[in-house]
RNA sequence: GGCGCCGUGGCCAAGUGGUAAGGCAGAGGUCUGCAAAACCUCCAUCCCCGGUUCAAAUCCGGGCGGCGCCUCCA
């Protein structure tokens, strides 16, 4: 499939290097707080990539997504909360899992945590290799990476050395760095901070080293196929990961780099606490929106374009999903009828188009267009009595196939299974209403419908009888 | 200041050389006890100005506007 590679700044043909397995590392969450919907925009996009590689491109996928469970913020917040770092970060690992499940994110093969001993040991080993290769220096108990020792440093971010503003952030108080761009590999700790000592002296890992080390440890060495994350990670995080991994192994770290653009709020600004516009998945659900609608919003804009989030987009997504589900319901209720070659042809064409869009650098919005074009065709065919039960089975199979990538139908089905009113009661009320209509007591009939409507269940009269659905 | 991205109908959003997918909203119509759903019809020439080309939303140049990174960040 075609995939845009940040390393070359162009779209390239992607295929895994070894066997038919894509080895992919995706930067996960720093678990100092609950992830917000901007974080999950990235995770949903990467979930789509994972599913597309498997379902459309036909590869196996081995994906690693980490939890950064040690850094300045996690340490600070756990101290404030008065609990251990592990206990504190456990909470947000659990919160992430809850939100991920709500959004229908597939579980990935590995979710390593930076502070697991195996991982810390591999970080230390990598630092030792870097030292052996002459890429490090020590200062005040901390180990730094020496930028000037690696000639192609900067190849990902394409920042020339002069372009990096010195002075913007210098650890002028405690650490002595040779160059403003040098970064810490192993950080000396103060007595009250979590500290490990596996060979680099007492301290804790720098921010970047965990990803380099865990990616190579869990994905069987360099080069891995894909490394991905949000755009903000391009520099310095990913640039530094490359420096570490390549400085240590002298091999290409990752063949492809995939970056997901940001989600912005209404006014075109990033979410930030100071602006009070940070929203979590739970916040969205608490406002009464459904997770399936949120997933739809997050996947309905191409991953390399900024997504301007506003609450109205959730309403639009809700309506679009209702249209999709209305079509599914009609298909499922169809009985009898002929089978038509034209339907089979249209379904086949839609499948091919859908796959082609995704193969083109994950064009999910384009693929959604294909889905809705098929919906119109199906609805028209049913209206004209040109679609039989046999056809319906084929169309439904196609939708199932689409959903293996989109993951939004299965998500909503699970929601639909839990209406606000018990199914038995709904069915009883439908029967009561039918009786009222039979005696032409439309006031009573409408009262039942209005009552259910108010409780979140919509009734629709069709030639085959009355159906209900959750609103 | 350096690097980069973006600007498509009322809103959201594909398309990147051959005369504008799709979703939402809106108008009219069919159907209906009324609704709902569904269907049909209508609703853009692609920020502006030049240029290249038989042909440009799509390529080049220049503007205007928005955003990101360069500093913790998905």
For A369-383, the pLDDT digits (tens) are: 999 999 999 999 999
Mean pLDDT computed over A292-312: 95
Lowest mean pLDDT segment, chosen from A7-16, A160-169, A198-207, A275-284: A160-169
Triad A404, A409, A414: Cα angle to 5°? 115
Mind listing the pLDDT tens digit for each residue in A138-191? 988 999 999 889 988 889 988 765 544 433 333 333 345 667 778 999 999 988
The model's confidence at residue A411, banded by pLDDT at 50, 70 and 90, is very high
Over residues A106-112, mean pLDDT: 97
pLDDT at A168: 38
Measure A2 CA to B55 C1' (Å).
28
What is d(CA A409, CA A401) in angstroms, rounded to the nearest whole number? 11
Strand B contact nucleotides, protein CB < 7 Å:
1-6, 11-16, 21-25, 32-40, 66-74
Q: What is the pLDDT of residue A110?
A: 97
DSSP codes of every residue in A149-181: G-TTTTTTTT--GGGS-TTSS--TTT---SSTT
Determine if the pTM surpasses 0.90: yes
- Whether A39 and A242 have beta carbons less than 8 Å apart is answered as no
- Provide the pLDDT for residue A158: 81
| Selected residue with higher pLDDT from A362 and A166 | A362
CA of residue A443 to C1' of nucleotide B31, angstroms: 22
Specify the nucleotide whose C1' lies closest to residue A449 (CA): B35
pLDDT at position A455, please?
84
Average pLDDT over residues A449-454: 87
At residue A247, the pLDDT reads 95
Q: Which nucleotide is nearest to A271 (CA to C1')?
A: B73
DSSP string, A389-420: HHHHHHHHHHHHHHHHHH--HHHHHHHHTS-S
Q: Which of A108-112, A426-430, A435-439 has the highest mean pLDDT?
A: A108-112
Task: Provide the token pair at A360.
Answer: 């083109």
CA distance linking residue A201 with residue A134, whole number of Å: 18
Instruction: Give the CA-to-C1' distance from A230 to B57 in angstroms.
Output: 29
Residue nearest to nucleotide B70 (CA to C1'): A164
Task: Pick out the nucleotide with least CA–C1' distance to A264.
Answer: B67
Q: What would the two tokens of residue A33 be? A: 């707080």
Q: Where are the alpha helices (DSSP H) in A276-422?
A: 281-286, 291-299, 311-333, 341-359, 364-383, 389-406, 409-416
User: Given this model, what pLDDT does residue A111 score?
Assistant: 97
Partner residues linked to A61 by β-bridges: A22
Least confident of A20-29, A153-162, A333-342: A153-162
Asked if A66 contacts A30 with a C-beta cutoff of 8 angstroms, the reply is no
pLDDT at A245 exceeding the cut of 90: yes
pLDDT of residue A408: 97
Packed helices A291-299 and A37-55: angle between N→C axes, nearest 10 degrees: 70
Closest CA to A393 of A471, A340, A451, A449: A340
* Nearest residue (CA) to C1' of B14: A366
The shares of helix, strand and coil residues in chain A, as percent rounded to the nearest 5, are 50, 15, 35
Task: Tell me which of A164 and A238 has the higher pLDDT.
Answer: A238
Nucleotide nearest to A373 (CA to C1'): B22
As a whole number of angstroms, the distance between CA A248 and CA A129 comes to 5
How crowded is residue A35: how many other Cβ atoms within 10 Å of its Cβ? 20
Q: CA of A81 vs C1' of B11, distance in Å?
A: 44
How far, rounded to the nearest angstrom, does the alpha carbon of residue A167 sit from its chain's CA centroid? 35
Interatomic CA–C1' length for residue A300 and nucleotide B13, angstroms: 8
pLDDT of residue A173: 36
Question: Which of A54, A58, A65 lies closest to A24, judged by CA?
Answer: A65
Q: Residue A321 — pLDDT band, cuts 50, 70, 90?
A: very high
Residue A434, pLDDT > 50, answer yes
**Distance of A419 CA from B26 C1′ (whole Å):** 31
A245: left (phi over 0), alpha (psi -120 to 50) or beta: alpha
Q: Which nucleotide's C1' is closest to A165 (Cα)?
A: B70
Distance CA A280, CA A306 (A): 18
Task: Look at residue A274 in the predicted model and tell me its pLDDT.
Answer: 64
The pLDDT score that the predictor gives to residue A83 is 95
The mean predicted confidence, pLDDT, of chain A is 91
The interface predicted TM-score (ipTM) is 0.95
Which alpha helices (DSSP H) does A84-151 contain, by range? 85-102, 117-132
Where is mean pLDDT largest: A88-92, A170-174, A418-422? A88-92
Nearest nucleotide, C1' to the C-alpha of A263? Answer: B74
Among protein residues, the one whose C-alpha sits closest to the C1' atom of B6 is A305
Whether the pLDDT of residue A36 is over 80: the answer is yes
Q: How many angstroms separate the CA atoms of A335 and A391, rounded?
A: 10
- Provide the pLDDT confidence category of residue A326 given band limits of 50, 70 and 90: very high
Q: Model confidence at A270, in pLDDT bands (50, 70, 90)?
A: confident
Q: Does A128 score more than 80 pLDDT?
A: yes
- In angstroms, the Cα distances linking A387 to A269, A328, A337, A354, A392 are 48, 13, 7, 21, 7
With beta carbons less than 8 A apart as the criterion, state whether A174 and A140 touch.
yes
Predicted confidence at residue A77, as pLDDT, reads 93
| Residue A372 CA distance to nucleotide B44 C1' (Å) | 21
Q: What is the pLDDT of residue A135?
A: 95
What's the average model confidence in pLDDT over A290-316? 94
pLDDT for residue A261 is more than 50: yes
pLDDT value for A99: 96
What are the tokens at A326? 């209305």
């Amino acid at each position: 499939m075609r995939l845009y590679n940040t390393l070359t700044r162009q779209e390239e043909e992607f295929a895994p290097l070894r066997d038919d397995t894509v080895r992919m590392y995706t930067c996960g969450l720093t678990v100092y707080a609950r992830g917000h919907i901007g974080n999950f925009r990235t995770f949903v996009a990467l979930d789509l990539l994972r599913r597309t590689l498997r379902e459309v491109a036909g590869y196996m996928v081995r994906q690693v997504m980490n939890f950064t469970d040690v850094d300045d913020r996690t340490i600070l917040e756990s101290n404030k909360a008065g609990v251990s770092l592990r206990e504190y970060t456990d909470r947000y690992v659990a919160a992430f899992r809850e939100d991920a499940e709500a959004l229908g994110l597939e579980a990935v093969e590995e979710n390593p945590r930076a502070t697991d001993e195996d991982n810390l040991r591999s970080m230390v080993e990598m630092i030792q290799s870097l030292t052996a290769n002459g890429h490090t220096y020590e200062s005040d108990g901390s180990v730094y990476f020496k930028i000037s020792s690696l000639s192609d440093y900067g190849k990902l971010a394409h920042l020339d050395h002069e372009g990096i503003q010195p002075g913007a952030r210098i650890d002028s108080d405690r650490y002595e760095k040779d160059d403003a761009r040098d970064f810490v590999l192993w950080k000396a700790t103060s007595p009250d901070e979590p500290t490990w000592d596996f060979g680099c002296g007492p301290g804790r890992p720098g921010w970047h080293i965990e990803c380099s080390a865990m990616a190579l440890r869990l994905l069987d060495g360099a080069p891995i196929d894909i490394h991905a994350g949000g755009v903000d990670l391009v520099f310095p995080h990913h640039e530094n990961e490359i420096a570490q991994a390549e400085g240590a192994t002298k091999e290409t770290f990752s063949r492809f780099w995939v970056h997901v653009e940001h989600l912005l709020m209404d006014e075109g600004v990033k979410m930030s606490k100071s602006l009070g516009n940070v929203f979590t998945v739970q916040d969205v659900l608490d406002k009464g929106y459904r997770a399936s609608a949120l997933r739809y919003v997050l996947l309905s804009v191409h991953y390399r374009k900024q997504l301007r989030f506003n609450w109205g987009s959730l309403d639009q997504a809700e309506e679009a999903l209702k249209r999709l589900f209305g079509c599914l319901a009609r298909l499922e209720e169809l009985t009898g009828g002929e089978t038509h070659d034209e339907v089979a042809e249209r379904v086949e064409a839609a499948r091919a188009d859908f796959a082609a869009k995704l193969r083109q650098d994950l064009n999910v919005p384009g693929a959604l267009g294909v889905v809705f074009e098929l919906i119109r065709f199906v609805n028209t065919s049913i209206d004209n009595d040109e679609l039989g039960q046999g056809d319906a089975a084929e169309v439904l199979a196609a939708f199932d196939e689409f959903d293996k990538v989109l993951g939004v139908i299965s998500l909503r089905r699970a929601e639909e299974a839990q209406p606000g009113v018990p199914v038995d009661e709904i069915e009883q009320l439908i029967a009561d209403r039918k009786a009222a209509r039979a005696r032409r007591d439309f006031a009573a009939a409408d009262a039942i419908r209005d009552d259910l409507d108010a409780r979140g269940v919509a009734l629709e009269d069709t030639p085959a009888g009355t159906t209900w659905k959750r609103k």
